[in-house]
Amino acid sequence: MITIGLAGWGDHDALYRTRQAAKAKLAAYSRLFGTVEVDSSFYAVQPQRNMEKWTAETPEDFRFVVKAYQGMTGHSRGAIPYADEEAMFADFKLALTPMRESGKLSCVLFQYPPWFACTRESVETLRMAKRFMEDIPCALEFRHQSWFVPQMRERTLAFMREEGWRHSVCDEPQAGEGSIPIVEAATDESHTLVRMHGRHAEGWHSSGQPNWREVRYLYRYSRQELEEWAERLRRLEAQSRTVEVIFNNNSGGDAADNARELMMLLGQTPPPIPEEPPERDPGVEQLELF
């Protein structure tokens, strides 16, 4: 099974064309896609009430990919607001309780930063994170090229299989050591995550600049690129029962369109996006009385 969704549900204005949809975006979104990536959990461990609310607003078969808190992946430059790492992981896991109990948690995504290179220390960091997460399904995404240079590719994949990490396959700009190639391989027979970041190489290194959110994921996939990905996804589906695709190329509002186009290329029928009915002319209503 291949399921397709977007990173976040709040920024895709083209999906919310009615007043009701604009007021209840997640509920409207979940009628159009079967999965979503929760990004707010990267910036702060979410209170359990948020997880409960999101779980309640979505259909029974809807799934969430929850991004690991930045303190858990080494993105935080300063001190973490916890006594220690064990307390931080415990708080994060507690927040997941409503999604886990409802069966709506697809996985937790551990996306490590561009400076997280393939070293012994990094390997131990990954082992520790997996121990802290216990039996919660976790997907692993690298940004440093060293994990997938030719001499390390198979060793990295083997490590992920041994440690129980699901592979987050990426499509992203090829922009030096802070980016990785497409590695078409599953490490878990039950689930593989695919994240589509776009291919805007110039914007990829815009972190720290005032407009980085506007340019980093500014990219619209062409039909040919999506056709190539449709074939890749079918091959991944032969390795993994569920392939979950998240489009993250939303700087220019392209993610939703690309996701729906890929659905069609895979033979899936995207649900129609509800439209606000046109306002009736009062004069016409009066005429219809007679």
Q: Report CA-CA distances (Å) from 202 to 217, 219, 231.
A: 10, 11, 27
Average of per-residue pLDDT across 214-243: 93
pLDDT for 178 beyond 90: no
How much is the mean pLDDT over the chain? 93
pLDDT confidence bin for 204, thresholds 50/70/90? low
- If DSSP codes are grouped into helix, strand and coil, which group holds residue 77? coil
What pLDDT is recorded for position 202? 77
pLDDT in tens, 76-90: 878 888 999 999 999
The residues pairing with 194 across neighbouring beta strands, listed in sequence order, are 169, 245
Q: Residue range 85-107: average pLDDT?
A: 97
- Cα dihedral 30, 33, 35, 38 in deg (nearest 10): -60
d(CA 72, CA 70): 5
What is the mean predicted confidence (pLDDT) over 7-16? 94
If you average pLDDT over residues 100-120, what whole number do you get?
A: 97
Full-model pTM: 0.92
Closest CA relative to residue 108, chosen from 143, 79, 137: 137
Residue given tokens 């259909």 in the structure block: 59
Query: Mean of the pLDDT values across residues 121-137?
Result: 97
Convert the pLDDT of each residue in 20-45 to its tens digit: 999 999 999 999 999 999 999 999 99
Reported confidence tier of residue 120, pLDDT bands at 50, 70, 90: very high
> If DSSP codes are grouped into helix, strand and coil, which group holds residue 238?
helix
| Token pair for 277 | 């009915």
Q: Strand runs (DSSP E) across the chain, as ranges? A: 2-7, 35-38, 63-67, 105-111, 138-141, 166-171, 191-196, 242-247
Tell me the average pLDDT across 157-180: 94
pLDDT at 160: 98
* Residue pair 148/183 in contact by the 8 Å Cβ criterion: yes
- Reported as a pLDDT band with limits 50, 70 and 90, residue 212 is low
In the block, tokens 């692993």 appear at 140
Domains of the chain and CATH, by start: 2-266 (3.20.20.410)
Across the range 221-250, mean pLDDT stands at 97
| Cβ atoms of 39 and 6 closer than 8 Å | no
Quick one: pLDDT at residue 125?
A: 97
Strands 138-141 and 242-247: unpaired
Please state, for a pLDDT cut of 90, what percent of the chain lies above it. Answer: 82
pLDDT at res. 251: 81
Q: What is the dihedral of CA 130, 131, 132, 138, to 10 degrees?
A: 30
**Residues in a beta bridge with 167:** 140
pLDDT in tens, 254-288: 999 999 999 999 999 999 999 988 777 666 555 55
Q: Average pLDDT for residues 142-162, to the nearest whole number?
A: 97
What local confidence, expressed as pLDDT, does residue 210 receive? 66
Residues 251, 214 contacting (CB under 8 angstroms)? yes
Closest by CA position to 53, among listed 64, 43, 44: 64
Torsion sign over Cα 161, 163, 164, 169: negative
Question: Above 80 in pLDDT, residue 99?
Answer: yes
CA distance linking residue 80 with residue 86, whole number of Å: 12
pLDDT at 73: 97
